[in-house]
Amino acid sequence: MLSLDGLVVRYGDTVAVRGIDLTLADNEIVTLVGPTGCGKTTVLRAVAGLEAPAKGCICIGDLTIDASNPVPPEKRRTGLVFQDFALFPHLDVYRNITFRLRDTAPAEHWLAVLGLGAVRHAMPDTLSGGQKQRVALARSLAHAPALMLLDEPLSNLDAALKTSLRWEIRDALKAAGVPALWVTHDQDEALSVGDRVGIMRDGRLEQVGPPETCFRDPASRFVAEFLGEAAFLPGRHAAGWLDTALGRASATDGPSLPDDVDVLLRPDDLALSTQGDHNAEVLNGRYEGETRLYQLRLNSGTMLKARVNHEVVLAPGTAVHTRIAAGHPLTAFPRQT
Amino acid sequence: MDRRTLLKAALALGLGGTAARLLAADDPAVSVDALAALSGKLTVYLGHGEGGLYTDIVGAIRERNPALDLSLRRAPSSALATTLVAEAGAGGPRADLFWSVDAASLAVVNGAGMGRRVPDDIRGQIRPEFRYDRWAALSGRIRSLPYNTGRLSPADLPGQIMDLPDSDLRVGWAPSYAAFQTFIAAMRLLEGEARTRRWLEAMKSKAQSYAGELGVVLATARGEVDVGLANHYYTLRLKSGDPDASVALAFTRDDAGCLVNAAGTALLSGRALPADFTRYLLTREVQSFLAEQAYEIPLVAGVAPPAGLPSMDTIQPPELDLARLSELKPALALLRDTGVL
Amino acid sequence: MKTPLSYWLSLPVAAAVLAPLAVLAWLGLQAELAFDAGNAAIVINSVLLTMLTVLGAILLGVPLALATTYIRLPGRPLWLALLAAPLAIPSYLGAFAYFAAFGPGGTLENLTGVNTPNLRGLAGATLVMTLYTYPFVLLTTRSALRHLNPAMLDAARTLGLSPGRALLSVVLPRARNGIAAGALLVALYTLSDFGTPAILRLDTFTRMIFVEYNAFGLDRAALLSLQLLALVAVILWLETRFGAERERPTRTATLDLGAGWRAATMTAGLLLMLAALALPLLVFGDYFWREGVGDFDPILAWHSAYAAGLAAIVAVVVALPVAYAAGLGRRGRLLERIAHLGFGVPGIVLATALVYVGLQLSVLYQTLALLVIGYVLRFLPLAVGSLRTRLERIEHHQIAAARSLGAAPFEAFRRITLPLALPGIVAGAALVFLEAMRELPATLLLQPTGFETLATYLWRVYEAGYLGRGAVPALLLVLISVGALVALLTGEERAGEARGA
């Protein structure tokens, strides 16, 4: 439905997007995540037709867009959802949603689906943030887009609303059956709503893949650190096994590794105990509700984090025993010196 | 009855003032009734000075001639003369008729060759000493010396304008006023550049400046100054409203101080309408109105001069062709040089 | 990248603004006159009037700003509105009133029997200009004071300074930029004002340009215009040097200076209102009482409204692409800056150039079109300004959203930009309308034959000395000006609300 082929976008002399290849299947949601300035929003704007590609091409259905054929936004059938909602303030909810509709049935459908029936004649100014974003979503979906583009749709909403609306939007997109490119800077959001996640850095895609793969088997240290708490423990690689001071684990399939590696450890890959051979010291702990996250310093000096059940209470300075407890293969990177 | 209703009634009934009828002698002025109605488009530049009075005349003519489509542009006469000269240099004047309260402005326009020959029948209606080829004089005004009657008697006044600086009288004048500038232009022509300059320099120290000549006359009546330099009608108008005002008219003899200036029209397009409009201005009714309300001197036979003006026989105006007043610029330069303006 | 349509539409506007300046330069070059004593006197008069007016406006405006900011006056909003009101009255109405009120035979003498001296020349013009421009300083200084951190004042007091000393040594130096900004506005206004020096007979640039124009001196008028523009340019340059630095307002401090100060402030304010507002109303009311409507022809009011209405419509139509382009990029902002120049060109100067243009292009000469062009060039910045503040509030995302829903650029403009900019369009049109109704010097020079307006009628009445006939047009102009003030204040209020929302 959407494919990007070597997409390059420039703003004057600065290159914002440096060659991106990406294909979305019908009905697939891909989240684009990355730090500020990585070019993720630019990709979205280029697909929407708000920026012209300098090189490469964008295919939306039968449309092929490149530098010599810059199809204007209104010809692309893309639905855009912004973080600031971009509702038309002079039109009420219903007239926002039916903006260019001849047949208003889809508007009724989405009003009902998104629970907006009660505010159909309200003016945008009088709505809450969540309602505004539902209206924006209904407006886009009612216009039957070939592709949905969401630009940080949740970042202007408060935390409690974020999670629930996340699922609502995902369900609506799935119900509409349109592919969607969803830009966010929140890795939780990226991992939870995307069928696949694309991690961008400095105008390039570092990795695209299912959320689990990206999280467990990141293609780079950058991806590993960006998607969650990550620590790197020196170890040795031999015949598909990783040996470290904290125990042994199998290595994920991937490019061949040298003998000396750094093993990626997520906090939940470790187990903690006050019993046994004390090989680390608790520096501090953070209560997270169901779990606790402890920062540890191994006797070798390496810093690690471990997440354990909230019932395990350890004062700073406590000597502990820690070991690898993951039941899944771990990812390692060539040793950095 | 205000003066506007009066004029309207007069024009409507075809009646002249009583005085006019009494004095209607050998060659009576034409009545509006004898004139055909005006129709068509006419653009008039009206160089005013008399404020509402001329507007009243235009209003009455408009009312009598509904088919006349009259556009009026009003500004000081010198400004309109400038405008006309500029227009002549850029495709020709945009007005059919220039009606000015000051002969100097008409002379300027004619100096640029704009005024057309005045038809003989119009010239024939005007008093012989005011007949000009290229403009039609409509009403006269005389330079005068209004004096404070509480302080002075006529004998205290110099008989010659050039002697005024030698007296110890306090004088009021209005140098930025067009009538005054025309008076200086006349003095320059009659007495020469050098004498005029000396006169201005000598006067400057003893003269009090006013914005307009009505102000000069008011100041004279109050006794702020002993004597003023002003057109005659301001004094007559003041006296008509306040007969006890301590001001009276005096005239010098045979010099610029008693110059007779005239308001008039220059025909700028060859059409008949501007001439016909001028004929209306020369009717008994309009001339009577000018004499009775504006205290100007009517220039057609059979209409009496304004009440309170000494008989014209007793006044000896200088011999000066008003057409020569087009030499206004050197006079203005003199006024600027001496710091009077 | 493709040049946006609004650039192409703005380009001729910018050219039209620059054209009169080019014409003046060309005419001025042809003048055979060198700088002489007369010219020097004009410069001195203009500069003196400007400096004295600025001084007067500061002496009135700054204490009033301090008083209205820090002293708890009963009915403070009303006081503020009243003290700002003189700004809304064109100064030539004030000049006309003072001309008529003072001196022998003036209204004051007629009503009270007390002899008053004539108010003419430098003294009279300074008095009138000060009375009608001090609100510039009052408003900018107040705005600066309100942006000052009041804790500073509190700190000064706790360090042992008396309230008066604290104001002088702590507050005023910080409000310097605000005062300077107001003073420069006063200077600009005074240099451009035609009516006041003309009516009170002070030979400033504006009056002498008019005199020269009327006395065969178009080239000399152009030369004087260029000199005046040079002075204006200096003021505008100074203005760019005083960018107001703002501190976050937290709360406004109040000083309890005691009942004495309150009473003194209110007495001073009352006297000022008597001089600036009550006296003109008294003069015009007295004339109206004595002469009634007279032969006032209501067509004049229609002429004024008609020409001003056309100017308002044309101005917003022309302003739309300029304001739009200004939001697009650097070249657009340059075009907007150029369009802004018209505001610095005094009406008499602009008109002098346009009369010459008219003489060369006879289709335009003495037409309503040329008058409307004059108004538009002069007041375009008002329309552009109010449109820009509106357009700036439209998010690019709203346009992008409309486009992505399938709306072509024009449809997006028609259905989103235009309706959202509508309040700005209306406000801009109203401002241009009201300013054009009151405009005097350009109207005097550019009015079509037979097309007299309220302002030109008032001027002619003054020139002819029949002041009584000026009552109705003057009162109508005051009414219009009050309308302008109300429209401006409520517009600002609404804008404030919208920003707060």
Q: Which three-class secondary structure string do you get for chain A?
A: CEEEEEEEEEECCEEEEEEEEEEECCCCEEEEECCCCCCHHHHHHHHHCCCCCCEEEEEECCEEEECCECCCHHHCCEEEECCCCCCCCCCCHHHHHCCCCCCCHHHHHHHHHCCCHHHCCCCHHHCCHHHHHHHHHHHHHHCCCCEEEEECCCCCCCHHHHHHHHHHHHHHHHHHCCCEEEEECCHHHHHHHCCEEEEEECCEEEEEECHHHHHHCCCCHHHHHHHCCCEEEEEEEECCEEEECCEEEEECCCCCCCCEEEEEECHHHEEEECCCCCCEEEEEEEECCCEEEEEEEECCCCEEEEEEECCCCCCCCCEEEEEECCCCCECEEECCC
CA-CA distance, C455 to C470, in Å (whole number)?
Answer: 10
Q: Is residue C369 within a helix (H) or strand (E), and if so which, with residue range? A: helix C368-392
Q: Which of C203, C359, C360, C363 to mutate to test the interface with B (most CBs of B within 10 A)?
A: C359
Q: How far is CA C310 from the centre of its chain?
A: 20
Whether C398 and A87 lie within 8 Å, measured CB to CB: yes
Q: What is the mean pLDDT of residues B317-323?
A: 87
Tell whether C486 is within 8 A of chain A (Cβ). no
Tell whether C203 is within 8 A of chain B (Cβ). no
- Each residue's pLDDT expressed in tens, for chain A with a length of 337 residues: 899 999 999 988 889 999 999 999 989 999 999 999 899 999 999 999 988 999 999 999 889 999 898 889 999 999 999 988 899 999 999 999 999 999 999 999 999 999 999 999 999 999 999 999 999 999 999 999 999 999 999 988 888 888 889 999 999 999 999 999 999 999 999 999 999 999 999 999 999 999 999 999 999 999 999 999 999 999 999 888 999 999 999 998 877 888 999 999 999 999 999 888 999 999 999 998 899 999 999 999 999 999 999 988 999 999 999 999 988 899 999 988 7
CA-CA distance, C196 to C126, in Å (whole number)?
Answer: 9
C216 → closest Cβ in B71, B329, B336 = B329
Contacts of B72 in chain C (CB under 8 A): 449-450
Q: How far is CA C479 from the centre of its chain?
A: 17
* C170, C156 contact by CB (below 8 A): yes
Q: Where are the alpha helices (DSSP H) in chain B?
A: 3-13, 18-23, 52-64, 77-89, 103-111, 120-125, 178-191, 193-204, 213-222, 232-241, 272-281, 284-293, 328-337
Q: Which of C96, C98, C463, C469 to mutate to test the interface with B (most CBs of B within 10 A)?
A: C463
- Three-state SS for C113? coil
Contacts of A89 in chain C (CB under 8 A): 398, 420
> With 60 as the cut, is the pLDDT of residue B9 above it?
no
Determine the pLDDT at residue B44. 94
When comparing pLDDT for B199 and C323, which is higher? Answer: B199
Determine the pLDDT at residue C489. 64
**Maximum average pLDDT range among B22-36, B309-323, C301-315:** C301-315
C-alpha closest to that of C102 among C275, C277, C285, C288: C275
Q: How far is CA B141 from the centre of its chain?
A: 5
| Alpha-carbon distance values, C474 to A133, C287, C449 (Å) | 56, 10, 22
Q: Is residue C209 within a helix (H) or strand (E), and if so which, with residue range? A: helix C205-213
Number of neighbours of residue A52 by Cβ within 10 angstroms? 17
Determine the pLDDT at residue C168. 78
Contacts of B59 in chain C (CB under 8 A): 295
Determine the pLDDT at residue A138. 95
Q: Which residue of A has its CA nearest to C398?
A: A86
Whether C201 and B50 lie within 8 Å, measured CB to CB: no
Q: Which of C213, C355, C366 to mutate to test the interface with B (most CBs of B within 10 A)?
A: C366
Is the ipTM higher than 0.90? The answer is: no
Whether C403 and A143 lie within 8 Å, measured CB to CB: no
Contacts of C463 in chain B (CB under 8 A): 48, 76
What does the DSSP 8-state code read for residue C394? S
Q: What is the mean pLDDT of residues B286-291?
A: 92
C-alpha closest to that of C96 among C479, C473, C360, C361: C473
- Three-state SS for B271? coil
What are C483-492's contacts with CB under 8 Å, separation 24+? C483/C434, C484/C88, C484/C430, C484/C431, C484/C434, C484/C435, C484/C438, C485/C81, C485/C84, C485/C85, C485/C87, C485/C88, C487/C427, C487/C430, C487/C431, C487/C434, C488/C88, C488/C431, C489/C81, C491/C386, C491/C427, C491/C430
Determine the pLDDT at residue B15. 44
Tell whether C407 is within 8 A of chain A (Cβ). yes
How would you list the strands of the sheet with A204-209, edge to edge? Answer: A78-81, A147-151, A180-184, A29-33, A196-201, A204-209
> With 80 as the cut, is the pLDDT of residue B12 above it?
no
Tell whether C254 is within 8 A of chain A (Cβ). no
* A38, A185 contact by CB (below 8 A): no
Q: Is residue B227 within a helix (H) or strand (E), and if so which, with residue range? A: strand B227-228
Q: Model confidence at B50, in pLDDT bands (50, 70, 90)? A: low
pLDDT, averaged across chain B: 86
CA-CA distance, C52 to C123, in Å (whole number)?
Answer: 9
Determine the pLDDT at residue C183. 92
Q: C328: Cβ–Cβ under 8 A, 6 or more apart, which residues? A: C4, C6, C7
- Express each pLDDT in A60-103 by its tens digit: 988 999 989 888 999 999 999 998 889 999 999 999 999 999 99
- Express each pLDDT in C53-91 by its tens digit: 999 999 999 999 988 888 878 888 888 888 988 888 889
- Express each pLDDT in B78-136 by its tens digit: 888 888 988 888 888 899 999 998 888 899 899 889 999 999 999 999 988 889 999 99
Q: What is the largest CA-CA distance in chain A?
A: 74
Tell whether B55 is within 8 A of chain C (Cβ). yes
Contacts of A72 in chain C (CB under 8 A): 403, 408-409
Helix, strand counts (H, E) of chain C: 25, 0
Tokens representing C176 are 């310097």
| Alpha-carbon distance values, C397 to A17, C119, C400 (Å) | 21, 59, 5
Q: What is the mean pLDDT of residues B231-249?
A: 88
Whether C452 and B59 lie within 8 Å, measured CB to CB: no
Tokens representing A216 are 């467990």
- Give the phi and the psi of residue B308 in degrees, each rounded to 5: 95, -10
Determine the pLDDT at residue A280. 94
CA-CA distance, C398 to A56, in Å (whole number)?
Answer: 28
Q: How far is CA A153 from the centre of its chain?
A: 12
User: Which chain A residues in 73-102 lie under 8 Å from chain C, judged by CB atoms?
Assistant: 73-80, 82, 84, 86-90, 99-100
Tokens representing C151 are 């804790």
Contacts of A90 in chain C (CB under 8 A): 419-420
Low-confidence residues of chain C, pLDDT below 50? 1, 244, 246-247, 496-501
CA-CA distance, C99 to C202, in Å (whole number)?
Answer: 13
Give the β-pairing of B297-298 and B171-173: unpaired
Burial (Cβ within 10 Å: 0-12, 13-18, ≥19) of residue C18: middle
Q: Is residue C142 within a helix (H) or strand (E), and if so which, with residue range? A: helix C121-146
Contacts of C104 in chain B (CB under 8 A): 218-219, 222, 224
